């Protein structure tokens, strides 16, 4: 009993000394392809650089403040992007709403017709067709290669990042989103 109490006390002290360890949260939920998700010990402010809606209207991550966002950078020529887009679409269909959004951003010079065709071919119907034609947002967020998916907290801070494709419609992804939104029972 004394050992259990000592371990509990040590854990509580360590957690209070380092807020990043206070809740294993997302780190402990990574399984399968989500093992690649790098969870930051401290949130990092995300870029507020403007990107575009499909129709060319300016938009920024500030427009999503108050929501947890899964921000995905992709391109029409990217095979792993094509592979994961249906999973991102399923995640948005199932969990998207006032608390959470999947935000997809076509990076680089992606013609609108090619973006539309990509979405039709992958069956994506619930995702935004945003564009970053000059790669300004991608550059500001240090996107080096595609796909890159970034998890943002409600304050617009990057809390985790994954390079490459992942099973975003799987149980691990759903558990991570539930932890990020504070809906631990989902």
Structural domain count of the chain: 1
Residue 168 pLDDT greater than 90, yes or no: yes
Q: Does residue 9 lie within any of the structural domains?
A: no
Q: Which residue matches tokens 């990043």?
A: 20
Q: What pTM value is reported for the model? A: 0.85
Residues 62, 156: contact at Cβ < 8 Å?
Answer: yes
Domain membership flag for residue 18 = no
Mean pLDDT of 95-107: 97
C-alpha angle 67-95-38 in degrees, rounded to nearest 5 = 65
42 CB-near residues (< 8 Å, 6+ apart): 20
Q: Which domain holds residue 33?
A: 24-181
Q: Is residue 34 part of a domain?
A: yes
| CA separation for the pair 23, 82 (Å, rounded) | 34
Report if residue 62 sits inside a domain: yes
DSSP 3-state of 102: strand
Higher pLDDT residue, 16 or 102? Answer: 102
pLDDT tens, residue by residue, 10-44: 333 333 333 333 345 899 999 999 999 999 999 99
Residues 106-118 have pLDDT tens digits of 999 999 999 999 9
Within-domain flag for 13 = no
Is the pLDDT at 122 greater than 60? The verdict is yes
- Does any domain span residue 53? yes
* Mean pLDDT over the full length of the chain: 88
Q: Residue 111 is part of a domain; what is its CATH number?
A: 3.40.30.10
Confidence of residue 137 (pLDDT cuts 50, 70, 90): very high
Q: What is the pLDDT of residues 38-88, one digit of tens each?
A: 999 999 999 999 999 999 999 999 999 999 999 999 999 999 999 999 999
Q: Is residue 12 part of a domain?
A: no
Tokens of 66: 């108050």
Q: Report if residue 48 sits inside a domain.
A: yes
């Amino acid at each position: 009993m004394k050992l259990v109490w000592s371990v509990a006390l040590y854990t509580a002290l360590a957690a209070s000394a380092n807020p990043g360890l206070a809740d294993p949260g997302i780190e402990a939920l990574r399984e399968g392809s989500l093992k690649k998700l790098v969870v930051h010990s401290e949130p990092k402010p995300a870029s507020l650089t403007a990107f575009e809606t499909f129709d060319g209207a300016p938009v920024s991550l500030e427009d999503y403040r108050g929501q947890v966002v899964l921000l995905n950078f992709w391109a029409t020529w990217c095979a792993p992007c094509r592979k994961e887009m249906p999973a991102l679409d399923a995640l948005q269909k199932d969990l998207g709403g006032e608390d959470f959004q999947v935000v997809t951003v076509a990076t680089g010079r992606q013609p609108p017709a090619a973006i539309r065709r990509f979405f039709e071919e992958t069956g994506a119907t619930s995702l935004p067709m945003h564009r970053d034609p000059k790669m300004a947002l991608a550059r500001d967020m240090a996107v080096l290669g595609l796909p890159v998916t970034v998890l943002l907290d409600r304050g617009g801070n990057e809390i985790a990042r994954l390079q490459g494709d992942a099973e975003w419609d799987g149980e691990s992804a759903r558990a991570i989103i539930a932890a990020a939104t504070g809906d631990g029972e989902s």
